[in-house]
Amino acid sequence: MMRGELFDKVRQLNTMRERSLAEGATRSAEGVRRLAEDEDIRPSFSRDTDRIIHSRPYTRYIDKTQVFYWVENDHITHRVLHVQLVSKIARQIGRSLGLNEDLIEAIALGHDIGHTPFGHKGEKALSKLCKEHGIGEFHHNAQSVIFLDRIEGLNLTLQVLDGILCHNGEVHEQVIEPRPGKTWEDHDRELRLMIERGEGSYPMTLEGCVVRIADTISYIGRDFEDAIRVDLIKREDLPSICSEVIGDNNRDIVNTLIIDVIENSWGRDCIALSEEVSEALAEFKRFNYEYIYEHPAVNREVDKIEKMFKLMFEEFLGHLEDDKRDSRIFKHHIDLIKEKNPTYEEETPPAVIVRDFIAGMTDKYFNDTMMELYFPKRFKYSVIQKDIYSEGAIDPR
């Protein structure tokens, strides 16, 4: 391990580039953690990025769908690609505005870790169950913080967790202004208000504001292209205000929005769009919601999803009550968390444990769990014969 002069020199080289950042950018030295740590050669926000990508929840991005679940098409966007696109777009904007790319990358890569299986449809189903069991609402941004901070115990900086909690890309805004000066007490209060009644807030940094707008930029055109790819809509269906002002293909859409954000945020203490582009983007969102997200073909399995979520939620509550230690909720969730958080089981209400377990599932794991819980297993004849013969019930000769 590096020590002394070499350690200090490498650390200095890694932070030297921050001298050229814009006045409103967040320096690594400003990173605040709950628990004090020894110095590292990496700047604080770069260290957070490494912790996020090596975490178990990040690994599960690979099989979480974005909009189109249960679609047989390998070219449809999944959650893992979405966060990479958000990171790339946000870093491009941040670089152009002189902001801290390390902070942007950490927020972007961690912002959707709390998403349920089956995207926003799964989120709504789980939120309904959470309210029924008196543990508040479910919001994936809050769950992302819960996974990274409370369950994984990564000791990330306040600025990163704040950006993740406040990333809401579904809300449309022409101007996003940061709320600087937050403390850990402020963050914990905002997390609690999000869970209790869905009350959101704004990021404390310009970098967090960039990720918030980049979230929209990354999905708006990509979802449009995916919908065309599965024959849900046609390109010419897009309203003229969208195609003429922003574009009618993902490449032009992303390029137009990035340039507009840079032009209208340059030298300002906010992240903004022009009025014309903001109006066109609002119409684009409205179009996507009406003709893609709420399309009957996309939502034809929603009732089944809600029923499966309810069945699974109640089933695992029963497993906790019966202390069924061979259940997946113990073997694949509680026992793994105890490695880093020994008091998780004792300090967490059963409904919250079930919420955390289901929220962390991938689409495939969710389906496999349903099969294990409710579908009879198929056995080879020889296995059945051996079991019966061992009990002395039948002589197989």
Q: Across residues 360-380, what is the average pLDDT?
A: 88
Over residues 208-226, the pLDDT tens digits come to 999 999 999 999 999 999 9
Domain limits of the chain? 4-293, 302-390
The per-residue pLDDT for 396 is: 43
The per-residue pLDDT for 397 is: 42
The per-residue pLDDT for 263 is: 98
Over residues 161-186, the pLDDT tens digits come to 999 999 986 789 999 999 999 999 99
The per-residue pLDDT for 340 is: 87
Q: Across residues 349-375, what is the average pLDDT?
A: 95
Over residues 34-59, the pLDDT tens digits come to 999 988 889 999 999 999 999 999 99
The per-residue pLDDT for 98 is: 97
- Judged against a pLDDT cut of 90, whether residue 144 lies above it is answered with yes
Over residues 296-334, the pLDDT tens digits come to 887 888 999 999 999 999 999 999 999 999 999 999 999
pTM of this structure: 0.93
User: What percent of the chain lies above the pLDDT cut of 90?
Assistant: 78
Q: If pLDDT is split at 50, 70 and 90, which confidence band does 255 have?
A: very high
Q: Across residues 259-267, what is the average pLDDT?
A: 98
- Judged against a pLDDT cut of 70, whether residue 70 lies above it is answered with no
- Judged against a pLDDT cut of 50, whether residue 394 lies above it is answered with no
- Judged against a pLDDT cut of 80, whether residue 77 lies above it is answered with no
Q: Contact at 8 Å (CB) between 28 and 44?
A: yes
The per-residue pLDDT for 38 is: 87
Mutual angle of helices 350-359 and 119-132, in 10-degree steps = 180
- Judged against a pLDDT cut of 70, whether residue 288 lies above it is answered with yes
Q: Across residues 276-280, what is the average pLDDT?
A: 98
Q: Contact at 8 Å (CB) between 137 and 196?
A: yes
Q: If pLDDT is split at 50, 70 and 90, which confidence band does 8 have?
A: confident
Mean pLDDT of the chain: 92
More confident residue, 75 or 105: 105
- Judged against a pLDDT cut of 90, whether residue 25 lies above it is answered with yes
Q: If pLDDT is split at 50, 70 and 90, which confidence band does 395 have?
A: very low
Q: What architecture is the 4-293 domain classified under in CATH?
A: Orthogonal Bundle (1.10)
